[in-house]
Amino acid sequence: MKRILTVLALLLPAFAADIGNQQIDSIYPALEKLYVSLHQHPELGFQENETSVKLSEQLRLLGYEVTTGVGRTGVVAILRNGSGRTIMLRADMDALPIEEKTGLPFASKVIVKSSAGQSVPVMHACGHDIHMTALMGTARIMAQTKQQWHGTLMLVAQPAEEILGGAAAMLRDGLFHTISKAGICSCHTC
């Protein structure tokens, strides 16, 4: 996970040179706890209610402007820090209807009703739990290092990536109008 956070920091060159392993190490315990929680409590597409609450609460505590319910269960978080570039990062939130057989002490034992009404086991088999954790690590570092960068950071937690409906739902719900309200859309139709 530390490598993923480092790679994300490198994607944001305005401050990447000032981000060190010590800073990443300082947030690692909280991120590991988040990762384990996300892994143990996966949710299917458009059912990411608890995941959405968990992410949005943490983002608000970090000082982000948070909009929830975008695309039903999606989250959009914006951190403004003066003039400058706008960077958008996205992570997917949903899990798959697969039984976890990893033997991990924090393995998912979740069974839910699918959209078809069938009871199905659920697990994060494609890494969406680590995607969300890396997004939150980036959110923390960006909030902690505001003196080292300027611009706007937009974080998107997308629902229902696995069933291919989440991005379209977010667009239908006005994702770019949310951006417009944040003052960072230039599409001239918002």
| 31-58 tens-digit pLDDT | 999 999 999 999 999 999 999 999 999 9
Q: Scanning the structure block, which residue is given the tokens 């409590």?
A: 41
Residue 132 is assigned to a structural domain of this protein: yes
Residue 75 is assigned to a structural domain of this protein: yes
Residue 176 is assigned to a structural domain of this protein: yes
- When divided into structural domains, the chain yields a total of 1
pLDDT at 10 over 50: no
Residue 186 is assigned to a structural domain of this protein: no
Residue 172 is assigned to a structural domain of this protein: yes
Give residue-wise pLDDT tens across range 126-171. Answer: 999 999 999 999 999 999 999 989 999 999 999 999 999 999 999 9
Tokens of 148: 């080292």
Name the band, by pLDDT with cuts 50, 70 and 90, for residue 25.
confident
Catalytic residue among 43, 92, 129, 161: 161
Q: What is the pLDDT of residue 111?
A: 98
Across 63-80, average pLDDT: 95
18 in catalytic set? no
Residue 100 is assigned to a structural domain of this protein: yes
Residue 105 is assigned to a structural domain of this protein: yes
173 in catalytic set? no
> What interhelical angle do 2-10 and 21-40 show, nearest 10?
120
The CATH number covering residue 174 comes to 3.40.630.10
**Contact residues for 102 (Cβ-Cβ < 8 A; gap 6+):** none
Residues 34, 82: Cα–Cα separation, whole Å: 30
Residue 106 is assigned to a structural domain of this protein: yes
Catalytic residue among 94, 100, 129, 162: 94
Residues 181, 178: Cα–Cα separation, whole Å: 5
Instruction: State which residues form the domain around 165.
Output: 2-181
Count other C-beta atoms under 10 Å from residue 9's C-beta: 22
**Exposed/middle/buried for residue 38 (C-beta within 10 Å: 0-12, 13-18, 19+):** buried
Mean pLDDT estimate for the chain? 87
Across 51-69, average pLDDT: 97
